Amino acid sequence: MLEKNTCFGCEFQSSATKFLKKEELENLEKCSVGIHFKKNDIIFKENIFSSNVIYLKKGIIKLHKKTSSKEKIIKIVKSPNYLGIPATFNEKYHYYSATSLSDTMVCFIQKEKFKDFIYSNSDFAYKIIKSLCENEIILLEQCFNKSKKNVRGRIAETLLFFYNEIFHQKKFIIPLTRDEFGKYIDTSRESVSRILTEFNKDRIINLTAKNVEILNEKLLEMISENG
Partner DNA sequence: TAAAAAATATGATATTTATCACAAAATTTT
Partner DNA sequence: AAAATTTTGTGATAAATATCATATTTTTTA
Q: What residue 136 binds from DNA, a second copy, none (CB within 5 to 8 A, per partner kind)?
A: a second copy
Sign of the Cα torsion 139, 66, 58, 128 reads positive
Binding site for DNA (CB under 7 A): 150-152, 177-179, 186-194, 196-197, 207, 209-210
Q: Contacts with a second copy in 135-154 (CB under 8 A)?
A: 135-137, 139-144, 146-148
| Residue 48 near a second copy by CB under 8 A | no
Q: Which does 179 bind (CB under 5 to 8 A by kind): a second copy, DNA, none?
A: DNA
What is the identity of the amino acid at 3? E
List of residues 6+ apart from 11 with CB closer than 8 A = none
If phi over 0 gives left and psi between -120 and 50 gives alpha, with beta otherwise, what is residue 200? alpha
Least distance from C-beta 7 to DNA, angstroms? 34
| Interface with a second copy in residues 84-103 (CB under 8 A) | 85-87, 89-90, 92, 95-96
Helix and strand counts by DSSP (H, E) for the chain = 8, 12
Query: Considering beta carbons, is residue 165 or 190 the nearer one to DNA?
Result: 190
Cis bond leading into 80, ω under 30°? yes
Which amino acid does the sequence have at 186? D
What minimum distance in Å lies between the beta carbon of 172 and DNA?
14
Q: Which of 71, 77, 82 is nearest to 46 (CA)?
A: 71
Give the residue with the Cβ less far from DNA, 123 or 198: 198
Task: Please check whether residue 28 is in contact with residue 17, taking contact to mean a CB–CB distance below 8 angstroms.
Answer: yes
Q: Which does 85 bind (CB under 5 to 8 A by kind): a second copy, DNA, none?
A: a second copy
Phi, psi for residue 83 in degrees, rounded to 5: -120, 135
The interface partner of residue 26, options being a second copy, DNA, none and the CB cut-off 5 to 8 Å by kind, is none
CB of 78 to a second copy, least distance (A): 18
Residue 47 CB partners (closer than 8 Å, separation 6+) = 93, 94
Residues that bind a second copy (CB under 8 A): 65, 67-68, 70, 72, 74, 85-87, 89-90, 92, 95-96, 115, 118-120, 122, 125-126, 128-130, 132-137, 139-144, 146-148, 186, 225
